Amino acid sequence: MTTQVAFLFPGQGSQAVGMGADIFAASDAAKRIFAAVDDALGFSLSTLCFQGPEETLRDTMNAQPAIVAVSLALLAALQEALSPDAFSWSSPLTPDYLAGHSVGEWTALVVSGALDLRETLLAVRERGRLMEYEGTQCPGSMAAVIGMDASALQEICQEATQQTLAALASPGHAGEGRVVVANYNAPGQIVLSGERHALDLASELAKARGARRVIPLSVSGAFHSPVMQPAADGLGHVLSEMPIADAHIPIIGNIAASPLTASEDLRDELAKQVAASVHWDATINYMAQAGIKTFIEIGPGQALTGMVKRIVKGAKTINIGNVTDLGKALSYMRENGVIG
């Protein structure tokens, strides 16, 4: 490899019925990953990815392991195409850094050697269950705000939280009445999360103060907000009993946007990020400033590729979400010196 490369892995919201089907048909390595996934979970998650139904795939406890599985199958197909006889998550194309958006961070840990595939799938499914459950206990949601800067939205969230809490006689939940900036995705592309009344008020304030668009997201809870603290606590218990090794490749964490390799730091990150904000813009900026020239998004959808282009003007980006993308990516990487 002649240029510095980062692998990026998408999070929830990138799922779609049919994802992974073509790579399953085209790649023996991908077939092995899907077989291992189905065996680990005790049901055919691969069939759910390939055929749906969409409503079932969208369930958080299904969507999260499904995205991890498809991302890893696509990476396996990439590495197989480069070296059919010597498969490894991180060879022959070895990234300098790894990063994943929310649940995509679990994918990154598998690739880094810190997590076992089977353990990861079971834990990610439990992560989804815990997050979905907390969404029923304290109803909330998320909304993407386009065309407003982070500082203005932070002020709006504080104002909406104060007004909503003042109107509630008895909040009754650690996160009720609160709304926060959940995802700092890219300049002018920020996601809010919180209890429904506070989120609605913050959305109206954002519209009134100049946001270009406010888009409600189809999610089952107020992810990456204080509403998810009980889920974070539950996940922390799961992680305390889970073997985690040191990462062989640095992972730029969602919370502090700084490199993580030590097993205990990774354990802490995975537990806390459920209720913490995702600093994706800072994550990408860190890697760009460290010399990364090519960002490769591996997984369903193209959301992260779009964010990178907004964060780092002129960045080289590659998206691998299906067989066609894989062919284009291999040609691009050979022509541009990413691979020999």
So which residues are the catalytic ones? 102, 224
Residue 103: how many CB atoms within 10 A of its CB? Answer: 29
Burial per residue of 258-275, b for 16 or more beta-carbon CB atoms within 10 angstroms, e otherwise:
ebbeebebbbbbbbbbbb
* Number of alpha carbons in the 13 Å side-chain half-sphere of residue 35: 8
Q: Which residues pair with 298 in a beta bridge?
A: 320
Residues 6+ apart with CB under 8 A from 225: 140, 175, 178, 179, 180, 182, 193, 194, 275
Burial per residue of 280-310, b for 16 or more beta-carbon CB atoms within 10 angstroms, e otherwise:
bbbbbebbbeeebbbbbbbbbbebbbbbbbe
Which residue, among 203, 272, 230, has the nearest Cα to 137 in the 3D structure?
A: 230
- Tokens standing for residue 329: 């990516």
CA-CA distance, 146 to 190, in Å (whole number)? 7
CA-CA distance, 226 to 248, in Å (whole number)? 32
Q: Are 20 and 300 in contact (CB under 8 A)?
A: yes
